[in-house]
Amino acid sequence: MSKLFSPITLRGVTLRNRTVVSPMCQYSAQDGFANEWHYVHLGRFGMGGFGLVLVEATGVLPEGRISYADLGLWKDEHIAPLARIVNFLHGQGAAVGIQLGHAGRKASTPVWRDKADQPATEEQRRAVGFEHWIPVGPSAQSNDPTNADYQVPKALDRDGIRRVVDGFAAAATRANQAGFDTVEIHAAHGYLLNQFLSPLANHRTDEYGGSRLNRTRLVLEVTEAVRSVWPAEKPLIVRLSVSDNNADGWRVDDSVALAAELKARGVDAIDCSSGGFAQGRIRSAPAYQVPFAKAVKQGAGIPTIAVGLLGDAFEAEAFIENGDTDFIALARGALNDPNWPLHANRELGGDYTLWPVQTRQVAERDRVLSSPQ
């Protein structure tokens, strides 16, 4: 068996293999509720053989959504439709996680339906649940003053910060009630927790700004709050932008130091991404973020998830085999081929046992018929 398709255990959860579906915003919810689109979109990845399916960035508070069309988990009514998705994925053999986030100053941004040449009518906006609000952030500074999609946020006061921490903990409690196997705290991509971490966005002068210790305070408080309500037998993941790609911003050594602190607070893996600020765009290329996963894994002694154009099965296997990372996550690659693990496993010499029983015999028959006689 290949290393990529070997089981791995985090706390009390055993994943059937090391393949992960990275969270992908679908901008298809109303009032935070999952619907049939989310059910089918996510369900196919369980059928496709992935070990862990992570649900898209889900707002812990209504004002924490990236857009009005994001999923939410700020009220109990959100639990049932998510539980339906979890149950189906469990039935397909996949573990399921949910990424909990707060967009901060990048909240209340338009989605594709708002960017047409002609603005939507009020009737069209009502039909899709359009909402607009003033976002919050560590400081009253837009994510990108040159981009009209971003507003100038209101700087969070201490009551606002407490609301964020409590919102993450309450959402984690609901995620457990929905049956999720893991929660991923979103502290990457220029969203609220990443905004507090980075000197590019955080210009506070109180205990949440200035030194690295102060700038990590909110992430650590959120992590402690989530871990306190998240079952001890279930793993906890944090997603970091390991680098802002700007010498004046958050750097790899900062992420290694933070990962060690997170590990000490009960975090079991770091999902390693990068970027998120207008001042530090990173050009993507195959496997371009694997060095970040390797640096955090080796520097902090914690399992990591690598992501970023990792669709080559043999390269993915090598990254696991060489100890660069512990998991391989796909987003665009999973959209392009929801059955990527089934195909990659066969490329690496595996059999058809990962296929759903409904399709296993057909796949095996086709292999026999196409084999040289």
Residues acting as catalytic residues: 191
Question: What's the burial of 276, exposed, middle or buried (CB within 10 Å: 0-12/13-18/19+)?
Answer: buried
For residue 53, what are the β-bridge partners? 21, 96
Q: What is the 3-state secondary structure (H, E, C) of 35-99?
A: CHHHHHHHHHHHHCCCCEEEEEEEECCHHHCCCCCCEECCCHHHHHHHHHHHHHHHHCCCEEEEE
Structure-block tokens of residue 294: 């390797």
In whole angstroms, what is the distance from residue 202 CA to residue 137 CA? 8
- Rounded CA gap, 167 and 174, in Å? 11
Cα-Cα end-to-end distance for the chain? 26
Pair 329, 16: CB distance under 8 Å: no
Buried b (16+ CB within 10 A) or exposed e, 97-123: bbbbbbbbbbbbbbbeebeeeeebeee
User: How far apart are alpha carbons 252 and 274 in whole angstroms?
Assistant: 10
Count other C-beta atoms under 10 Å from residue 23's C-beta: 24
Q: Which amino acid is at 332?
A: R
Surface-to-core class of residue 261, CB atoms within 10 Å of its CB (0-12 exposed, 13-18 middle, 19+ buried): middle
Rounded Cα distance, 79 and 98, in Å? 12
Strand, helix or coil for residue 19: strand
DSSP code string of 166-202:
HHHHHHHHHHHHTT-SEEEEEE-TTSHHHHHH-TTT-
Tokens representing 345 are 């496993």
Q: Do residues 73 and 101 make contact, with C-beta atoms less than 8 angstroms apart?
A: no
